[in-house]
Amino acid sequence: MTTKIGENKVVTRFAPSPTGYMHMGSVRTALFAYLFARNHNGKFILRIEDTDKERSKKEFDQAILDTMKWLGLDYDEIYRQSERGTIYRKYIEKLISEGKAFVSKEEVTEEGQRSEVIRFKNPNKKISFKDLIKGDVTFDTTELGDFVIAKSLDEPVFHLAVVVDDFEMGITHVIRGEDHVSNTPRHILIFEALGAPVPTFAHLPLVLAPDRTKLSKRKHGEIVSLEYYRKLGYLSVSIINFMALIGWNPGNDKEVFSISELIKIFDLEKVQKGGAIFNTEKLNWFNKHYIQLLSQEEKFLHLKELGDIPFLNEIGEKINLLNLMTERISNFSELAFSLKSGEYDFLFKKPEYSMDLIFWKGEVDVLKTKERLINVKTILEAVDSNSFNKEVIKESLWPFAEKEGRGSVLWPVRVALSGKEKSPDPFTLSEILGKDETLVRLVYAINLLS
């Protein structure tokens, strides 16, 4: 499926409707349409389908734009169906004048229902198409009846607007969710009535919730929207990499991909036929991986974005704290949470702890422990403040720790510095705290034992 010289340029589109925040399913659809277009050196169009005036909202329109930008899915053209009324009207009139559509008088049974709509004159035939993912699909369109294509000359319905736009915009490949397969015969009928070339279809398997049903806001809540993960401090690169692997694979064991690598190797033929569950565990793994690749400055920016973080200024001044703090997080909100719950308070202020914690494995020997801490203090005092880093600190403390028993020496030191049962190692802590503060905390612990 490579683009040959002289072959028409590939044109794809992503066509969301601005009726809510962007859905993970839409993200995946957008990504695949984008990757396909870029892989073929083609054009990628963003088309906002806002013909439903009741449900379309400007804020969601903006949210779509923001999301596309955040994800890095750049488009070549953008259209809004609400601005294309005259175009649709032209085609509706054409269909009516050719007898392919007609104004239909309706019996009004519900509120808001029109007494007059425009229906497509269904030729009632079998429609077959070759779907790039599903293969050959055949439908009998008889059961569709003369379906509605517009509420009035100026109010086209989805089916008409989509087909007119795909035609006018020269879309060569319609890449969309599987929930649209059953709409496809309708669309093909309209393409034919218009005398327009029928594009190639590729219906993507659905992105499923853990209960194996289509992701839906009503049923599954906020976990369906990209916004949720973005606010949690996930990186766009993680989302892209993770979503690319839902329903698609490169055909080998490689799993970590940048977007430009994806563009190079993306192929619709490797798209899965069945739906796939959106599993956050793997997203966490990807995000952890990508966080490790960030510089401390970048990490700081991500943390800052979450807003209202304790000690943000202090962290900004001692940016090297970030590598330590991001060692085990899957997303930045986990770090924000740790910070808020005081897990890292000891880095910024004197720790408070009960004396019992300082004894190694129940080795409750006040005199011994005190003596060891005094020794440690003496050793550290001798270390030059200019080379007070963890390597040097470890080197100078190690012989004593070996002699006395590592745990017996290092555990009390670590507690004296952190006041915590769990924390980074004492060498790292000393370096971060600096020589002066390290000594102050050791003295505090020594006095506690007096």
Partner RNA sequence: GGCCCUAUCGUCUAAUGGUUAGGACACGGCCUUUUCAAGGCUGGAAUCGGGGUUCGACUCCCCGUAGGGUCACCA
Q: Which is nearer to RNA, 253 or 317 (CB)?
A: 253
Contact flag: residue 229 with RNA (CB under 7 A) = no
Q: Measured from the CB of residue 28, what is the shortest distance to RNA in angstroms? A: 10
Asked if 304 touches RNA (CB under 7 A), the answer is: no
List binders of RNA among 61-120 (CB under 7 A). Answer: 106, 108, 112-115, 117
Give the angle subtended at the CA of 195 by the CAs of 190 and 196, to the nearest 5°: 75
Give me the least distance between CB of 153 and RNA, in Å please: 13
How far apart CA 329 and CA 426 sit, in angstroms, is 21
Nearer to RNA, 45 or 208 (CB): 208
Which residues in 138-167 contact RNA (CB under 7 A)? 138-140, 143, 147-148, 151, 157-159
Neighbours of 195 (CB within 10 A): 10
Please list every residue from 171 through 190 that binds RNA, using CB under 7 A: 178-183
Q: Which stretch binds RNA (CB under 7 A): 90-98, 279-287, 349-357, 371-379?
A: 279-287
Strands (E), 66-134: 77-80, 101-105, 116-120, 126-131
CA atoms within 13 A on the CB side of 360: 17
- To RNA, the closest distance from the beta carbon of 260 in angstroms equals 21
Rounded CA separation 254/236 (Å): 19
Specify the stretch interacting with RNA by CB under 7 A; choose among 38-46, 64-72, 246-254, 379-387.
246-254
H or E segment and range at residue 207: strand 207-208
Beta strands in 106-179 (DSSP E): 116-120, 126-131, 135-140, 148-152, 155-156, 173-177
Q: Which of 94, 100, 151, 217 is catalytic?
A: 217
Out of 57, 212, 304, 349, the residue judged to bind RNA by CB under 7 A: 212
Identified binder of RNA from the candidate list 87, 169, 245, 312, rule CB under 7 A = 245
Nearest CB to RNA, comparing residues 79 and 411: 411
Torsion from C-alpha of 357, 362, 368, 369, nearest 10 degrees:
-20
Should residue 349 be labelled a site residue for RNA when binding is judged by CB under 7 A? no
With beta carbons less than 8 A apart as the criterion, state whether 286 and 238 touch.
yes
Stretch of 37-45, 65-73, 188-196, 250-258 lying at the interface with RNA (CB under 7 A): 250-258
Site for RNA in 393-422 (CB under 7 A): 401, 406-407, 410-411, 414, 421-422
* Among residues 6, 99, 135, 362, the one that binds RNA under rule CB under 7 A: 135
User: What is residue 59's three-state secondary structure?
Assistant: helix
Closest CA to 360 of 296, 431, 415: 415
Q: What H or E segment, with its residue span, contains residue 11?
A: strand 11-14
Nearest to 14 by CA among 193, 196, 218, 180: 180
Q: Is 270 a catalytic residue?
A: no
> d(Cα 429, Cα 418) in Å, to the nearest integer?
8
Nearer to RNA, 119 or 316 (CB): 119
Of the pair 54, 308, the CB lying nearest RNA is at 54
In angstroms, give the least distance from the CB of 285 to RNA: 4
- Site for RNA contains 121 (CB under 7 A): no
Smallest separation, CB 325 to RNA (Å): 11
Residue 328 interacts with RNA (CB under 7 A): yes or no = yes
172 vs 200: CA distance, rounded Å: 6
Single residue of 13, 43, 134, 173 touching RNA by CB under 7 A = 134
| Binding status of residue 255 toward RNA by CB under 7 A | yes
Q: Which one of 59-67, 252-260, 300-308, 381-389 is the stretch in contact with RNA (CB under 7 A)? A: 252-260
Q: Per DSSP, which regions of 18-131 are E strands? A: 43-48, 77-80, 101-105, 116-120, 126-131
- Which of residues 273 and 349 has its CB atom nearest to RNA in the complex? 273
Nearer to RNA (CB atom), residue 213 or residue 258: 213
Residues 16-45 within binding reach of RNA (CB under 7 A): 16-17, 19
Contact 13, 46 (CB under 8 A): yes
State the helix-helix crossing angle for 58-71 and 24-39, rounded to 10 degrees: 50
346 DSSP 8-state letter = G
Site for RNA contains 55 (CB under 7 A): yes
CB of 50 to RNA, least distance (A): 7
Q: Does 15 bind RNA (CB under 7 A)?
A: yes
- Which residues are part of the catalytic machinery? 217
